[in-house]
Amino acid sequence: MITEPVSPIATGLPVDSQKTRDEGPEFDFAHPEVAAREAELREAAAGLKAVCEKWSDPPSDKEGWERLRSDLEAVMPGFYARYDGYVTSVLRTGKTVPACTRGCSHCCSHYVESVEPYELLFLHGRLRGGPAYPSRVVAMHRRVALFGSLRRESDGELAEDRALYRYYLRNMPCPMLGADGACGAYASRPMSCRMFFSMSKPDLCKGRAVIDPANRNFLIELPEDIEADLARAGSALSGYGLSESLFAGLVEVNGAFGQFDAGT
């Protein structure tokens, strides 16, 4: 249960610019309020895991697809509420307030990774059918293709990090980002977006400034047992074969199950 100073969305910096700090901002994880929120999150994670284990075989028809969606709708909003409750309680114990505010969105130009399959299935369910959905799918395809080409151009041990950094410099905001700089999928955005903060001024999250040593991006990680339960929940859905990348994963859900949405 630590905070780690990281390059944005976990990776994305070239090797010679990796941060070398060993510790992130200090928070009091033993605070009673944090412990209470942690217990709530633990319970919610266990409930989510049970749903994922129930659906380890992907649905094969429209009815099954709708039941899966319904089960995820029953647990995911509560899970995210408890996730946010935990993160907020941790942040409140810090001496410094993060710089992040509504409308600040440089970090939404990253190629978001580490997204769990239950998050992709839930988010896709929330996005489908909306008027912006077709254009968002096209925009996600473009981003997947761009990242793929950048990944092929990069080689060596840190090829993935280099590709993520080069992608970020292209400044292609997430298709869910609204014109007002706020997330258009805020209530259903993945954990990767919910855990990422900065203690430095927002300008240091922008473009090449992100590798400035003064940049103070950090993640708030979860207690190990909760992380383990969430990993088991994700593993239960491994048969769906979904990418861990936000855009690639959503494109894959659309391709594999989109036919069940026809006519809805």
List residues near ligand SF4 by CB under 6 A: 99-100, 104, 106-108, 112, 174, 176-177, 183, 185, 189, 193, 196-198, 202, 205, 217
Shortest Å distance, C-beta 202 to ligand SF4? 4
**Measured distance CA(12)–CA(210) in Å, rounded:** 9
Shortest Å distance, C-beta 207 to ligand SF4? 11
Q: What is the three-class DSSP state of 177? A: strand
Q: What is the three-class DSSP state of 99? A: coil
Choose between 140 and 236: whose C-beta lies nearer to ligand SF4.
140
Token readout for 154 is: 């990069």
DSSP strand E in the chain: where? 3-5, 196-198, 217-220
Shortest Å distance, C-beta 32 to ligand SF4? 27
Choose between 50 and 139: whose C-beta lies nearer to ligand SF4.
139
Choose between 172 and 177: whose C-beta lies nearer to ligand SF4.
177
Shortest Å distance, C-beta 242 to ligand SF4? 16
Other beta carbons within 10 angstroms of residue 185's beta carbon come to 18
Contacts of 29 (CB under 8 A, 6+ apart): 1, 90, 93
Q: What is the three-class DSSP state of 221? A: coil
What's the one-letter identity of residue 258? Answer: G
Let me know: does 217 contact 6? Beta carbons within 8 Å. yes
Shortest Å distance, C-beta 74 to ligand SF4? 22
Shortest Å distance, C-beta 224 to ligand SF4? 25
Choose between 176 and 236: whose C-beta lies nearer to ligand SF4.
176
User: DSSP letter at 77?
Assistant: H
Choose between 30 and 179: whose C-beta lies nearer to ligand SF4.
179
Let me know: does 72 contact 240? Beta carbons within 8 Å. no
Choose between 158 and 172: whose C-beta lies nearer to ligand SF4.
172
